[in-house]
Chains A and B, each alone.
Chain A
Amino acid sequence: MKINRVGLLTSNRPPAEHVLRDVNEAPERLLGKGYILKTANRRAVSAALAGLAGALTMMAGPTDAAILSVPTGAEQRSPLFGATPFKARIVLVEEFGTSDYTGIEAPAIDPKSGAPATLGLPEAVATFGFDLDPCHGTPRPSALDDIIKMTGLYPLPGELANEELQAGGGFKHGNPWQALIKDCLGGDDPLIAEMDMPMDGRPWGEDFKHQRWSEFAPKKFFQAIMAGARTSGGARDRYQSHGYGKDLIGFSEFGPNGLYHNTVTSPYAPGVDSPLWATPKDAPATVEGTYIKAFEGTTKGIPVRVNPLNPNWPIQDPNSVWTFDGTIPLHLLMARYAEPILFRHHNALPIVNDVSSNMGFGTHTISTHAHNMHNPAESDGFAGAWFYPGQFYDYHWPLVLAGHDSINTDATDPRASTPCTPGEAFNGVTCPATGIIKVPGDFREIQSTLWFHDHMEDYTAQNVYKGNAAVMNIYSGIDRGNEDFNCRTTAEPTLSETNLNLCLPSGTAKSWGNRDYDVNLVVADKAFDANGQLWFNPLNKGGFLGDVMTVNMVYKPYMDVRSRRYRFRILNGSVSRYQKIAVVDQNGVQVPFHLIANDGNIMEHSVAFPNTEAGTGLPTQSIAERYDIIVDFAPLYAKGIRKVYLVNLMEHAVGDGPKAPVTLAQAWNAFNGNNKTGYNGADLAIGKFMEFRLRPMPAGLTDKSMNPALYTETVVDAVTKKTVPGRVMLPMPTFTAAELAAAKHRTFVYGKKPDALNDGTKPWTLATDGGVGLNADLARISAAPVKNSVEIWHLKGTSGGWSHPAHIHFEEGQIINKRNAADTGNIAVPSWERFGRKDMYRLGAEVNSAGRIDIAIRVRDFTGSYVEHCHNTQHEDNAMLLRWDSENADHASWVRTPHPEWDGPHYDEVHNGLPGSTYKLPTADTGSKTTTEAKNFALPAAFGKPRANTGVAPK
């Protein structure tokens, strides 16, 4: 018996790569490929489909159907509803946008919305069209937009969490949802009925007090609401600093004649409204829909749909996807140094976790981690400091350079600076013509590309996957996001106030923070259930793999680019998937590009790719790693190239860790049905996942951005033809010999695969300083480095087959040594790691990674509770996490461990027989030099010393 392909293809066509080998296959095979459509639920697909599903189910029987081998762990592969790659345009990230904090008042009537600002979060309501009662629902979209538009905050943030009690009992500022919450939880239970619930979710008391609150008083604030998916109301249009071209003097790609003025459709898309300047139009078959004028200069109307204009792909339900504001585009925070930000994060997630409110994954409590900002611990997003629906948490991000207290404390080094617009009033002074204001701290610690995301204990993977992730760019004098303003003319270290700007590709319309040619790309694999709703398997703790590649939440998008240099800030936003990305032209040939930042930190030198050190494409990129690259499309355009692709090479069979990269040719020809020429395995994330369409430069405009080739470690002098040292982008921070000699050593061993107790190891553990392997216990301090000290940490993971992308919060490290997969000998530290600071360290046997990584790390400026963990977030959620605290030298004060509940965080009085909840490993204060790893550690002579900055001046 054969399946009628037409029926499948017309009503629910699988993606091209799914289809290729399926024609005329037996129904059993088709079942194996997951073409069974589940019986329809309330979002019913057509009756014809239901009939087909029934027929297939009948043929195979329910038991057989359960034996499937789908990487996601689902019973079917994700349906794509006829979508094919590269027809949807990417949706670029949208700024949260910040408002002036100084002078804000509370309570207030909001002048814009007219709504009283005293109400707090508007109450959840029954969600129209989704059959959800208020306990499972989410506030009205218009009410959420009112919060976004508000210019005030109520109650005002303070140094301590708002825990004020009122005379008659209860909190002065109670959870605005309190009555509803009690109803939903069961109001007849006296324990619940008597509860007083605070509005402020931050743990009360000294432990989570904002450090250095008045010293780093907020200058800007923004609010965002974690909420179920909804169509954007365009509430943040007003906050876009490019203003979609309004009020900008220079040319902007976000302006009316730019590539990105329209947020959803390309100006090259066909259609009667399509702008005349963009010609010739793309063929209709290559784009989804036609040009839609309504998306010019606004995000209003963008649905949360993985293929925004494909009507066959269901819009995501509010219980499937939870994002910042409940909307896409993904959000971007643009920040600059010396402008501290107060981020009020509201939680409007469903009061009751239920399959009807969360689609079977994700939890409604959150804790937002700023990965990897130099932040005080109470604003780091501690895994145990979560907050509840109806509540908010005020995160205070000081935007100070590391070394604020110890280096350049008088702010005299212009390289440590923040960008400003000449004439702008900034922090009480007028921004000078140089466009920078000097700040204290170590300029070598400048950070550029970050993200923030949920860090809820046990639920990080699910909640981040569900949409709790945003990106963040920090701007500085050196990386200001303007490519034609005080660009570099001299070499390090003689930079002056008027020539320190690296002039990375960005734009020129604004004095700083241009994103015309500086693009955040969040790459993530997703899976969908038979109804097209986001699907996740929280039970698969070895690692979760999606079978649908997305960029910025859009299925295999395309993007218009000019024939010029671009900076792409690529974040691996997956749960468990490692990637290895090649940049390839339309003929399958790798194109040259440069890596300029590793984990968001500008490197000492740029690194040219492709290169033999990394193999094909970029180095392996684990979850949460960021690679900033510069691609120059101009020479490609001149050669007639019109399309360039991002191609994923790294194959996964399971989520525990990657297998190995496939060849470029195999990936390029993936799913062509021919095993000799193409990859045709089970991993649908292999191959092209993003397409760049090259467009001509606007008339009269030239590319002013820096040439990254001048900044490689060595360059060939144009005149003498001799190889000479290349220029330095940003020197590495240094360590003195005395500091390294005095450094405390700590050893962290990431546990073996959790197969059994038989092999003598405990599963899912981190073992500290030779101790036993332990699961996460947020009350346990495993390490307590002293603030303003240097330490050497040995991160080890020789588990064989399991890979662990280790992440250390708060401070960047420098890699001293890398050891082979079995930790029996050193391997070379590649250039991109010698030149860069890291917060992610890949432990594993895969290419470019290591069995052990020794790092030097400085802990500075703030104290409190941070964590270190495996960033395969399914491993993390299986308790592969430890707490470490930055402490003062006397170790006298410990942060108590909060246990947040509806009525506020509780602190235990007794834990393990000791006073106070918090306890320490015996080695927490001392570290250990007696572990094997510490004993066989050898410090390379050159490590930590300043390298000669002898770069030649650029042309």
Chain B
Amino acid sequence: MTINARIKAAGRAAKAGLILLAGLAANLGGSPVWAVPAGSPWGANYFPNVELVDQDGHTVRFYDDLIKDKVFAINFIYTRCTASCPIETAALRKVAKALGERMGRDIFFYTISIDGNRDNPQVLKEYASRFNTGPGWTFLTGRKEDVTRIREKLGMYREDGKPEKELGEHSIVILMGNERGGQWIKRSPFDNPEALARILDTRMLARRGTSGKSEVTAHAAAVMPASPGEELFQSQCANCHSLGADDNLGPGLAGVVQRRDRGWLKRWLKEPDRMIAGKDPTALALYDQYRQVPMPNLKLSDREIDTLIALMEQHP
């Protein structure tokens, strides 16, 4: 079913749900239609079936339209976010790429805004286009209390139950699920994208099998350890940058140590959000040049920054 078809079906289901809701008291033996099926161990109201709106302005219901009988990845962002969100989106983008044609056919991504007041469908659509996302990936927004409810139930709100003081406190987790299969795995956007793709494909979809024997090689010879910088780069930077000349979401980093003043570069790695906010001309130029995807503040330590710069020096 296409997204549009699903949304239409959802609309019908939602209307039917309202009617049935009124009649629930008489419907003792059946299940409430706004929730999981009768007999589900989750309980009828576990997954909120609240309304959300996607980037095209279509109204969908969380349970019925997004997760029921589907294999999916869910994360929560807000478009103004300058820290973790761009990293998450960039990571998911790589995962989506690795999943190829399964995206939108077998596997769906849902990125839900926690800033419903600002992130209307238009904003989300622009955001998605900045990241050049592909099929099968829906950006959604909704009423704050509804989204909070979803996050609580998915275990993606603050664990201590206290309210978040600011949006930036939101947990950065990617939830991968197969609702029908009762399969749920949480991982970090800092995980290797290949590993995340493998989870969605092999574990969640659970249908894949590639004939194994042929791809086997002799026992791998020992390889030298990756440098500390490479490890750091892989987990923090590689979703947006290459060490070569190729642009990705962000510029290729070959020669960046020659291109940029050392002090500027250090500060850029340390607090890019403040440099953009402070209208540093180079920072703004980069921001505009790369589709206004902000360089995120990765909260890197000085030592980590030195390590990364040392790595970049090896790639003139």
Bound Cα distance from A530 to B43, whole angstroms: 8
Contact A54 B24 (CB under 8 A): yes
Contact A75 B299 (CB under 8 A): no
Contact B155 A539 (CB under 8 A): yes
Q: State the Cβ distance, A752 to closest chain B Cβ, in Å.
A: 12
Contact A903 B181 (CB under 8 A): no
Contact B159 A656 (CB under 8 A): yes
Contact B159 A903 (CB under 8 A): no
Contact A354 B182 (CB under 8 A): yes
Segment with Cβ contacts to B, from A251-259, A497-505, A613-621, A907-915? A907-915
Partner of A50, one of B28, B39, B159, B161: B28
Partner of A775, one of B35, B191, B219, B231: B191
Partner of B212, one of A535, A893, A904, A914: A904
- Is B158 at the interface (CB under 8 A from chain A)? yes
- Is B236 at the interface (CB under 8 A from chain A)? yes
- Is A829 at the interface (CB under 8 A from chain B)? no
Segment with Cβ contacts to A, from B51-59, B136-144, B167-175, B253-261? B167-175
Q: Mark B176-190, 1 if CB is under 8 A from A, else 0.
A: 001011111111101
Contact A914 B226 (CB under 8 A): yes
Contact A757 B83 (CB under 8 A): yes
Bound Cα distance from A687 to B171, whole angstroms: 34
Q: State the Cβ distance, B262 to closest chain A Cβ, in Å.
A: 22
Contact A758 B32 (CB under 8 A): no
- Is B70 at the interface (CB under 8 A from chain A)? no
Bound Cα distance from A360 to B177, whole angstroms: 11
A interface, how many residues as a size bin? 35 or more
Contact B172 A763 (CB under 8 A): yes
Q: Mark B289-314, 1 if CB is under 8 A from A, else 0.
A: 00000000001010010000000000
| Residues 884 to 941 of chain A near chain B (Cβ within 8 Å) | 891-894, 896, 899, 901-907, 909, 911-912, 914-925
| Residues 702 to 759 of chain A near chain B (Cβ within 8 Å) | 753-759
Bound Cα distance from A474 to B84, whole angstroms: 49
- Is A359 at the interface (CB under 8 A from chain B)? yes
Segment with Cβ contacts to A, from B6-14, B120-128, B198-206? B198-206
- Is A541 at the interface (CB under 8 A from chain B)? yes
- Is A862 at the interface (CB under 8 A from chain B)? no
Partner of A903, one of B154, B171, B212, B232: B212
Q: State the Cβ distance, A253 to closest chain B Cβ, in Å.
A: 39
- Is B25 at the interface (CB under 8 A from chain A)? yes
Contacts of A58 in B (CB 8 A): 24-25
Bound Cα distance from A140 to B180, whole angstroms: 25
Q: State the Cβ distance, B143 to closest chain A Cβ, in Å.
A: 13
Q: Mark A38-62, 1 if CB is under 8 A from B, else 0.
A: 1111100000001101110110001
Contacts of B161 in A (CB 8 A): 654
- Is A665 at the interface (CB under 8 A from chain B)? no
Segment with Cβ contacts to B, from A13-21, A186-194, A643-651? A186-194
Contact B183 A363 (CB under 8 A): yes
- Is A833 at the interface (CB under 8 A from chain B)? no
- Is B213 at the interface (CB under 8 A from chain A)? yes
Contact A896 B219 (CB under 8 A): yes
- Is B227 at the interface (CB under 8 A from chain A)? yes
Q: Mark B270-282, 1 if CB is under 8 A from A, else 0.
A: 0000000000000
Contact B38 A764 (CB under 8 A): no
A contact face: mostly helix, strand, loop, or mixed? loop
Contact B211 A772 (CB under 8 A): no
Q: State the Cβ distance, A343 to closest chain B Cβ, in Å.
A: 25
Contact B304 A51 (CB under 8 A): no
| Residues 146 to 174 of chain B near chain A (Cβ within 8 Å) | 149, 153-155, 158-161, 166, 168-173
Contact A354 B203 (CB under 8 A): no
Partner of B219, one of A40, A207, A923: A207
Partner of A894, one of B158, B182, B192, B222: B222
Partner of B225, one of A62, A903, A925: A925
The closest CB in chain A to the CB of B299 belongs to: A760
Bound Cα distance from A918 to B173, whole angstroms: 25
Contact A757 B168 (CB under 8 A): yes
- Is A585 at the interface (CB under 8 A from chain B)? no
Contacts of B41 in A (CB 8 A): 320, 355, 359-361, 529, 533, 535
Q: State the Cβ distance, B310 to closest chain A Cβ, in Å.
A: 12
The closest CB in chain B to the CB of A317 belongs to: B41
Bound Cα distance from A359 to B211, whole angstroms: 31
Q: State the Cβ distance, A6 to closest chain B Cβ, in Å.
A: 20
Contacts of B129 in A (CB 8 A): none
Partner of A777, one of B173, B191, B206, B223: B191
Contacts of B190 in A (CB 8 A): 762, 774-775
Contact B209 A902 (CB under 8 A): yes
Contact B178 A539 (CB under 8 A): no
Q: Using A66-B48, A195-B211, A360-B41 as known contacts, say yes or no to A458 and B185 having CB atoms under 8 A apart.
A: yes
Contact A186 B207 (CB under 8 A): yes
Partner of A54, one of B28, B175, B216: B28
Contact B182 A361 (CB under 8 A): yes
- Is A805 at the interface (CB under 8 A from chain B)? no
Bound Cα distance from A207 to B220, whole angstroms: 10
Bound Cα distance from A619 to B171, whole angstroms: 33
- Is A310 at the interface (CB under 8 A from chain B)? no
Q: State the Cβ distance, B216 to closest chain A Cβ, in Å.
A: 6
- Is A486 at the interface (CB under 8 A from chain B)? no
Bound Cα distance from A761 to B41, whole angstroms: 35
Bound Cα distance from A58 to B26, whole angstroms: 9
Contact A763 B226 (CB under 8 A): no
Contact A901 B226 (CB under 8 A): no
Partner of B191, one of A63, A879, A921: A879
Q: State the Cβ distance, A775 to closest chain B Cβ, in Å.
A: 5
Contacts of B225 in A (CB 8 A): 919-922, 924-925
Bound Cα distance from A359 to B38, whole angstroms: 13
Partner of A62, one of B34, B153, B227: B34
| Residues 639 to 692 of chain A near chain B (Cβ within 8 Å) | 654, 656
Bound Cα distance from A65 to B231, whole angstroms: 47
Q: Using A205-B219, A763-B172, A924-B225 as known contacts, say yes or no to A775 and B43 having CB atoms under 8 A apart.
A: no
Partner of B226, one of A40, A917, A919: A919
- Is A851 at the interface (CB under 8 A from chain B)? no
Bound Cα distance from A924 to B235, whole angstroms: 17
Q: Mark A336-363, 1 if CB is under 8 A from B, else 0.
A: 0000000000000000111100111111
Bound Cα distance from A921 to B39, whole angstroms: 47
- Is A206 at the interface (CB under 8 A from chain B)? yes
Bound Cα distance from A879 to B168, whole angstroms: 23
Bound Cα distance from A763 to B84, whole angstroms: 11
Q: State the Cβ distance, B76 to closest chain A Cβ, in Å.
A: 12
Contact A893 B222 (CB under 8 A): yes
The closest CB in chain B to the CB of A530 belongs to: B43
- Is A99 at the interface (CB under 8 A from chain B)? no
Task: Sample 16 A-B pairs with CB under 8 A, ordered by A number.
Answer: A50-B28, A54-B27, A62-B24, A75-B45, A191-B210, A354-B182, A529-B41, A539-B155, A541-B173, A542-B159, A757-B84, A762-B190, A774-B235, A912-B192, A919-B223, A919-B226
Q: Which residues of A contact B (CB under 8 A)?
A: 38-42, 50-51, 53-55, 57-58, 62-63, 65-66, 73-76, 165, 185-186, 189, 191-192, 194-196, 205-207, 320, 352-355, 358-363, 458, 529-531, 533, 535, 537-542, 654, 656, 753-765, 771-772, 774-775, 777, 801, 877-879, 891-894, 896, 899, 901-907, 909, 911-912, 914-925
Known contacts A756-B171, A878-B187, A899-B202; 17 further A-B pairs (Cβ under 8 A):
A62-B34, A185-B206, A191-B210, A196-B211, A458-B185, A654-B160, A654-B161, A754-B159, A758-B168, A763-B173, A879-B186, A893-B222, A902-B209, A912-B192, A916-B219, A916-B223, A919-B223
Q: Which residues of B contact A (CB under 8 A)?
A: 21, 24-25, 27-32, 34-35, 38-46, 48, 83-84, 149, 153-155, 158-161, 166, 168-173, 175, 178, 180-188, 190-192, 194-195, 198-199, 202-203, 206-213, 215-217, 219-223, 225-228, 230-232, 234-236, 299, 301, 304
Shortest Cβ-Cβ A-B pairs, 6 listed: A916-B220, A41-B39, A54-B28, A542-B159, A360-B182, A75-B43
